Structure 1
Amino acid sequence: MGPRGCRRLVLPVIVAAAISAPLAYAQDGQNSAREPGPVFSDSGPDAELYGAAEGYPVGTRGAAPQLDKLVGVYSHFDELYKSRAIGRATVPWQFKRAPEPSIAYHFDNQRLSIADYLKRNPVTGLLIARDDTILYEHYQYARTDHHRFVSQSMAKTLVAMLVGIAVSEGRIKSIDDPVSTYVPGLAGTEYGNTSIRALLNMSSGVEFSEVYDGKDDIARLGRALFVDEPKDPAAVVAQFNTRTAPPGTRWHYASVETEILGLVLRAATGTPLADYLHDRIWDPIGTEANASWAIDGSGQEIAFCCFNATLRDYARLARLLAHDGAWEGRQLIPRQWLLDATTVRPEDGHLAPHVATRYFGYGYQVWLLPGEQRRFALLGIRGQVILVDPASKLVMVHTAVRQKPFEPGALREPLALWFAVLQQLGQ
């Protein structure tokens, strides 16, 4: 469930315009007298189409996502689908707050404000923080800071971080081990003969289609997993068994590869992914709210998607990544793992920005932005985005309900806003 349209992103003009945007604090004066804190709106772009009159209804499980149910489904996903709870931290860690800046960005030959951005885009939540301080936190469509928003494919990066922790603990001996070392049910299959590293980089060479037409392989995988009756998840993924390229030679987005990483983690740690995440990351970073992770009929977390959390807890996760896995002096994720996950090795040219896709590169289940600075993104369909700049410790969390799973160029405007944020707030 990733942003397939990113293959078509061409951004140099937009990025240059955003970077050249002048500093613009409080240009409208709308925030100068308001106490810093989250801002809530009952409306949003095309609110009527999204079900405002009915209170943004949730709909029913298993139904194709209808537009007037998207807001409800994307903020109540774990009420529709079986999920494993992830308890909030024993000792919450609190962000500081600063007065809200006014941010200007350029897009399609227009100079726009961040308020314009919210009027133009179906954003449910938008949060910008610099290190330990929240600078901007807005919600639309009657969503609040208590709603848990579904991550879609942003969850993939969580899985990769847990793999790194499992390696550091000796539970996974090497990411160059074949998958079958940990998941015997895949022995003799193409995925079983593929290394963990190739799965982390989505470079297995195994055929898997993900175009979101309801007939592709991701639809088949989803239908097999989002059911009540128990199914062996190894048998479910084993059906994808045609190799079209040698491992480690060609990047190809395939959610099934994250699903297999989830099976590796479960076998290597002997612990459900949600529990492992809680103990190694979620509790130590001082999360303020419970989270959840959707599970299949066998009780296995659906690793390629469907983690659910509040906006500020996503921001805590982003801050952890911005600090290369360290939290208040404690290294939760090995620093070298974070560096490896967000850097392309010289021998992996197929993963580089402008090669893997026209814009993004790809690391360990994370998207890499081009440029000299190391910057990266977690992305999910319909506009789920977390952007991280380790140098400035700026992060942006963006949840949304775009009408289509992916649209060519859908990330152009969020990235224009992000580069303006970096230019105006990253000094």
Structure 2
Amino acid sequence: MAVTQPASAQQTLPPVLTDGPSSSVPTAIQIARWHMLDGDINALTFRSMDRLFTTRTVAHAGTPWRLPRADAPLDFTYNFGGKNYTSQDFLDRTYTNALLVMKDGKIVSEIYRNNSDENSRFIAWSMTKSITSLLVGCALAEGRIASLDDDIIVYLPELKGSGYAGVTIRQILQMRSGVDYEERYDFANPGIAARNHVDALVKNVARFADAARTIRRLHQPGSTFQYKTLDTAVLGWLIERVSGTSVAAYTTQKLWEPLGAEQDGFYIMDGQPGVGREFSGAGFNATLRDFARIGQMMLDGGRANGRQVVPADWVRTSTAPSTPADPKAPGLPTGYGMQWWLLNDKGAYSALGLQGQYIYVDPPSRTVVVKISYFPPGDETATAETGAFLQAVSAWTPR
């Protein structure tokens, strides 16, 4: 008797992905990108972005910056919610993929979990914003940008007539552009930000920064802090324009090679080569140690690998408060500089990325912490607990 074979079935795109222009990205890849933040798979997707996206390489140094070691057990506790927890508790309770702690320029702890290792390249998400800030500082020092108080349309005339007209580079760095772009991703009722995410990153039918061409104004420039990835995408476009090359190439030239990075980094792209741009607001990927090199360089006033990589003035300027930190919420991201979050009023600051990515720098205790996480979407408890841990690890002295 003949056996009837079941018909082959293709995955079906959710309605939000079928709206608007059709995409040449395979259906299965669009769906994988759509679910990449989900809490049951992000421990893996957050270190597999080169399998989901077109990428552009940021080449590492020929001679890496050697980070000395003084390994020690994390033998301290921290208090959260009225209870004391160990550092091992912390790893489990806050969805940690990898953790690196440096004290006074030396690695004292380096931990990999969930089948990650020293070769895993993790997505920075919005820690990328802090890297983009470093590139702006380099371009300013080179004279490619004349002044932070220049109107952005001096360099990007494509933004004439948009909400960015009359906005300075400084105001964009401080997330005070005033444009009407609420950083909210309600995909059931997508607004400008959610639609931009879908079209640029999932479907690759638009360039992320191009939303700036038609965006409207909501607030007077400089008057209101409102966090938005579009501001940083505009800064990436600025870097591209003033450097005459790609964001990845400028990152290699001005940061990654002189920093002494030991492995290549990469940016995810919002389209195919020749069309797409680096996702400069949240798309950089690197190893745990290379993220730590960024933190140590910041702690050392922009010096790394025996050379001044980023101007010391830029380190001070970009981490000075444009929005002061809340003294009642130490360890939490409440203040802001120029694409760096301020965690207290004593000088601690951090690059922060979606769902628990941290490059934390505490100058008073000479502590650097890199934490790579896979928080479930919207989990604010893990953020608060990480703040408590960061305060404790700063106060801790290895034995």
Letter in 2 for 1:224: D
Q: CA offset at residue 407 of structure 1?
A: 3.0
| Alignment correspondent of 2:42 | 70
Aligned residue pairs: how many? 361
CA deviation digits over 1:270-322, x for unaligned, max 9?
Answer: 12111111111111121111110112222311111010001011001111111
| Alignment correspondent of 1:337 | 314
Find the aligned partners of 1:219 and 1:324 in 2 and give their Cα distance. Answer: 37
Find the aligned partners of 1:407 and 1:392 in 2 and give their Cα distance. Answer: 29
1:393 paired with 2:370, answer no
| Alignment correspondent of 1:226 | 201
Find the aligned partners of 1:235 and 1:99 in 2 and give their Cα distance. Answer: 47
Equivalent residue in structure 1 for 2:253, among 260, 271, 279: 279
Letter in 2 for 1:89: A
1:354 paired with 2:329, answer no
Find the aligned partners of 2:203 and 2:80 in 1 and give their Cα distance. Answer: 45
| Alignment correspondent of 1:309 | 286
| Alignment correspondent of 2:24 | none
1:80 paired with 2:40, answer no
**Percent of aligned pairs sharing the same letter:** 32
CA deviation digits over 1:10-46, x for unaligned, max 9?
Answer: xxxxxxxxxxxxxxxxxxxxxxxxxxxxxxxxxxxxx
Q: CA offset at residue 227 of structure 1?
A: 5.7
| Alignment correspondent of 1:421 | 393
Q: CA offset at residue 234 of structure 1?
A: 5.2
- RMSD over aligned CA atoms reads 2.2
Please report the TM-score for the alignment, with normalisation by the length of structure 1.
0.80
Q: CA offset at residue 237 of structure 1?
A: 2.4
Unaligned runs of 5+ in 1: 1-57
Letter in 2 for 1:389: D
Letter in 1 for 2:307: R
Letter in 2 for 1:422: S
CA deviation digits over 1:53-97, x for unaligned, max 9?
Answer: xxxxx9964332343321221001122111101122110122222
> SS in structure 2 opposite 1:370?
coil
> SS in structure 2 opposite 1:259?
helix
After superposition, residues 4-403 of structure 1 pair within 5 angstroms as: 61-65=32-36, 66-101=38-73, 102-214=75-187, 215-226=190-201, 231=206, 235-241=210-216, 243-297=217-271, 298-344=275-321, 348=322, 351-354=323-326, 360-371=334-345, 373-403=346-376
> SS in structure 2 opposite 1:302?
coil
> SS in structure 2 opposite 1:425?
coil
Q: CA offset at residue 380 of structure 1?
A: 1.1
- Is residue 318–residue 386 contact of structure 1 (8 Å, CA) maintained in 2? yes
CA deviation digits over 1:339-378, x for unaligned, max 9?
Answer: 111112xxx5xx11139x986110001101222x211011
Find the aligned partners of 2:215 and 2:198 in 1 and give their Cα distance. Answer: 14
Q: Which moved more, 1:313-322 or 1:87-96?
A: 87-96
Q: Which moved more, 1:208-217 or 1:332-341?
A: 208-217
> SS in structure 1 opposite 2:365?
coil
Q: CA offset at residue 229 of structure 1?
A: 5.7
Find the aligned partners of 2:77 and 2:361 in 1 and give their Cα distance. Answer: 19
CA deviation digits over 1:358-409, x for unaligned, max 9?
Answer: 86110001101222x21101111111111101233210001111111x3334
Q: CA offset at residue 176 of structure 1?
A: 0.8
Find the aligned partners of 2:393 and 2:169 in 1 and give their Cα distance. Answer: 36
| Alignment correspondent of 2:383 | 411
> SS in structure 2 opposite 1:222?
helix
Letter in 1 for 2:385: E
Unaligned runs of 5+ in 2: 1-28
Q: Structure 1 residues 62, 424: CA separation in 2 closer, same or farther (over 3 Å shift)?
A: closer
Letter in 2 for 1:294: I
Find the aligned partners of 1:142 and 1:245 in 2 and give their Cα distance. Answer: 46
- Is residue 126–residue 283 contact of structure 2 (8 Å, CA) maintained in 1? yes
- Is residue 34–residue 202 contact of structure 2 (8 Å, CA) maintained in 1? no
- Is residue 59–residue 72 contact of structure 1 (8 Å, CA) maintained in 2? no
Q: CA offset at residue 217 of structure 1?
A: 2.8
Find the aligned partners of 2:67 and 2:210 in 1 and give their Cα distance. Answer: 44
Find the aligned partners of 1:359 and 1:383 in 2 and give their Cα distance. Answer: 12
Q: Which moved more, 1:314-323 or 1:99-108?
A: 99-108
Q: Structure 1 residues 193, 141: CA separation in 2 closer, same or farther (over 3 Å shift)?
A: same
